[in-house]
A and B are shown apart, each in its own frame.
Chain A
Amino acid sequence: MFRNQYDTDVTTWSPAGRLHQVEYAMEAVKQGSAAIGLRSKTHVVLATVNKASSELSAHQKKLFKIDNHIGIAMAGLTADGRVLSRYMRSECINHHFVFESPLPVGRLVVQVADKAQVCTQRSWKRPYGVGLLVAGLDETGPHLYQNCPSGNYSEYQAFAIGSRSQAAKTYLERKFETFMECTKEELIRHAVFAVKESLQEEELSSGNCGVAVVGIDEPFVVLDPKTLQSYIESLETGKEEQQTMEETGTDDRQSLQVQHEGTGSRGISVGAGDDSPTDMET
């Protein structure tokens, strides 16, 4: 993006009718490491790519529990995300204190969006530099929302934000119609596979990815590394089984498999979408 004369202030419009500062803030989100979300009829799963700034440091925390029924994944300036998550937690606690019931997800998302909008219309503020994927459950079922620095929000069946999220999005676009009927395990496997797509060359391990789940009667929880590692491994075995299956030509039904669309000669299960990562379109 090249510099413009109208991009110094968030309160200055450009002649093209754009607020460049807001767009630059969204760019910060695109530069952050990926966050992915997907939902079914009963669960919502969030997954993140965890980048460590150096080999010596621990990975950044990008999955936050907001309340028993809501959690978020963030991409971008995680410090801004921490501040927003503190606000969201406070709102949930206050709502629960007054109404003795959980704050509906959509309401919380709107409150965050309004808070973000304020920063786009004050000369002494700057927009938040973080994009949030908000996963939550309320009376109307499971929901996945995205919150933008611009103050916009929208609901999704599945989505990905951050760097190299397009790879994950492409995978999700292929599979999302099957998500509603997925079990929790299948949904998590889809999420882990989507993270794998975003990592591309890098080896997927419980060290560089994080997963969290929330479901009906299941409070939001970030999966511990051991559980996560077993999901990652099941992905690998699924991939091997699928490859042997393709070689032998049998059609055994496996627990890994999810409903398939006829996408040519490509593999049909989660673990073995392709023979190699480089075949994936980006």
Chain B
Amino acid sequence: MSMMFAPRLTEAAAPTTHAAPTWSPYDNNGGTCVAIAGEDYCVIAADTRMSTGFSILTRNYSKIHQITDKSVLASSGFQADIRALQKNLDARHQIYQHQHSKQMSCPAMAQLLSNTLYYKRFFPYYAFNVLGGLDSEGRGCVYTYDAVGSYERSGYSSQGTGMQLIMPVLDNQLKSASPLVLPLRQSTTPLSEVEAVDLVKDTFASAAERDIYTGDGVEIVIVNRDGIRHELMDLKRD
């Protein structure tokens, strides 16, 4: 009888243990992406290694996808989600072309990508994106994203497993001084196209040294007024 009135320790009050998840819908296939915007060009690069856990799935996978004549998307993260995201953007771009009889500008594509990512706010695309290309005036532009669509236009960016190794180097080489010291510069780098490509190659070579998920090769895409060019460079395969 007295048991009825004694406060019983219910399941809710007792400390619970969360069971370790047995299955995750996501996997990280690793890799790093970089993009640099110039006065009249944009360089977008990504390594070509695809991994899972401590294993390499392939040494020759492209993380770069050309969406329009002037926009190139580089993404690291879960490649299955990334492929689905790329196809989604392609389909949306087709619809846009049918309706407007012209291609999307890079800034427009940047907004579309942001909206597409936020659309899946509660089951996100596991994709860390860098969008590069030329804006409507022909100047280089780089947009960098988080997994749910927060984005910003900048002069350069990197995403992925090697991001923390590469970003400080890019800051050192490309970041304009504080506006208090010097007048604010454009968000494009004064480097020439060749210099920017060399910088990208150097940063990837450095990142491949210490980041185990980055290596095998770098795919470099250069967008300028003459069109789109591809370069491939080998990286350490260890």
Asked if residues B91 and A97 are in contact (CB atoms below 8 Å), the reply is yes
Asked if residues B98 and A65 are in contact (CB atoms below 8 Å), the reply is yes
Asked if residues B95 and A93 are in contact (CB atoms below 8 Å), the reply is yes
- Flag A90-102 by CB within 8 Å of B: 1 or 0 each: 1001101100000
Query: How long is the Cα–Cα vector from A65 to B98 in the complex, in angstroms?
Result: 8
Residues of B contacting A65 in the complex (Cβ-Cβ under 8 angstroms): 98
Which residue of B has the minimal Cβ distance to A85? B98
Residues of B contacting A94 in the complex (Cβ-Cβ under 8 angstroms): 91
Is A89 positioned at the interface, with any CB of B under 8 Å from its CB? yes
Residues of B contacting A90 in the complex (Cβ-Cβ under 8 angstroms): 95
Which residue of B has the minimal Cβ distance to A90? B95
Is B103 positioned at the interface, with any CB of A under 8 Å from its CB? no
Query: How long is the Cα–Cα vector from A94 to B98 in the complex, in angstroms?
Result: 14
Asked if residues A89 and B95 are in contact (CB atoms below 8 Å), the reply is yes
Which residue of A has the minimal Cβ distance to B92? A93
Query: How long is the Cα–Cα vector from A90 to B87 in the complex, in angstroms?
Result: 14
Query: How long is the Cα–Cα vector from A65 to B102 in the complex, in angstroms?
Result: 13
Asked if residues A97 and B95 are in contact (CB atoms below 8 Å), the reply is no
Query: How long is the Cα–Cα vector from A96 to B91 in the complex, in angstroms?
Result: 9
> Shortest Cβ distance from A148 into chain B, in angstroms?
24
Query: How long is the Cα–Cα vector from A96 to B90 in the complex, in angstroms?
Result: 10
Is B94 positioned at the interface, with any CB of A under 8 Å from its CB? yes
Interface residues of B in 199-232 (CB under 8 A from A): none
Interface residues of B in 87-132 (CB under 8 A from A): 87, 91, 94-95, 98
Query: How long is the Cα–Cα vector from A213 to B181 in the complex, in angstroms?
Result: 60
> Shortest Cβ distance from B185 into chain A, in angstroms?
42
Which residue of B has the minimal Cβ distance to A66? B98
Chain A interface: which size bin? Answer: under 10
Residues of A contacting B94 in the complex (Cβ-Cβ under 8 angstroms): 89, 93
Query: How long is the Cα–Cα vector from A90 to B95 in the complex, in angstroms?
Result: 8
Asked if residues B98 and A97 are in contact (CB atoms below 8 Å), the reply is no
> Shortest Cβ distance from B123 into chain A, in angstroms?
19
Residues of A contacting B91 in the complex (Cβ-Cβ under 8 angstroms): 93-94, 96-97
Query: How long is the Cα–Cα vector from A94 to B87 in the complex, in angstroms?
Result: 10
- Flag A75-97 by CB within 8 Å of B: 1 or 0 each: 00000000000000110011011
Query: How long is the Cα–Cα vector from A96 to B95 in the complex, in angstroms?
Result: 13
> Shortest Cβ distance from B32 into chain A, in angstroms?
27
Query: How long is the Cα–Cα vector from A250 to B98 in the complex, in angstroms?
Result: 50
Q: B87, B91, B94, B95: which has the most chain A beta carbons within 10 Å?
A: B94
Which residue of B has the minimal Cβ distance to A67? B94
- Flag B39-57 by CB within 8 Å of A: 1 or 0 each: 0000000000000000000
Query: How long is the Cα–Cα vector from A263 to B64 in the complex, in angstroms?
Result: 60
Query: How long is the Cα–Cα vector from A238 to B98 in the complex, in angstroms?
Result: 36
Interface residues of A in 150-183 (CB under 8 A from B): none
Which residue of A has the minimal Cβ distance to B88? A97
Query: How long is the Cα–Cα vector from A93 to B94 in the complex, in angstroms?
Result: 8
Residues of B contacting A93 in the complex (Cβ-Cβ under 8 angstroms): 91, 94-95
> Shortest Cβ distance from B188 into chain A, in angstroms?
34
- Flag B18-61 by CB within 8 Å of A: 1 or 0 each: 00000000000000000000000000000000000000000000
Query: How long is the Cα–Cα vector from A97 to B91 in the complex, in angstroms?
Result: 7
Interface residues of A in 50-80 (CB under 8 A from B): 65
Which residue of A has the minimal Cβ distance to B87? A97
Which residue of A has the minimal Cβ distance to B93? A93
Query: How long is the Cα–Cα vector from A90 to B99 in the complex, in angstroms?
Result: 12
Residues of B contacting A89 in the complex (Cβ-Cβ under 8 angstroms): 94-95, 98
> Shortest Cβ distance from A29 into chain B, in angstroms?
24
Residues of B contacting A96 in the complex (Cβ-Cβ under 8 angstroms): 91
> Shortest Cβ distance from A265 into chain B, in angstroms?
47
> Shortest Cβ distance from A78 into chain B, in angstroms?
16
Residues of A contacting B95 in the complex (Cβ-Cβ under 8 angstroms): 89-90, 93
Query: How long is the Cα–Cα vector from A261 to B87 in the complex, in angstroms?
Result: 51
Residues of A contacting B87 in the complex (Cβ-Cβ under 8 angstroms): 97
Q: Knowing that A65-B98, A96-B91 are A-B contacts, what are 5 other residue pairs whose CB atoms are under 8 Å apart, sorted by A's residue number?
A: A89-B94, A89-B98, A93-B91, A93-B94, A97-B91
What are some 12 contacts across the A-B interface (CB < 8 A)? A65-B98, A89-B94, A89-B95, A89-B98, A90-B95, A93-B91, A93-B94, A93-B95, A94-B91, A96-B91, A97-B87, A97-B91
3 interchain residue pairs of minimum CB distance: A93-B91, A89-B98, A93-B94
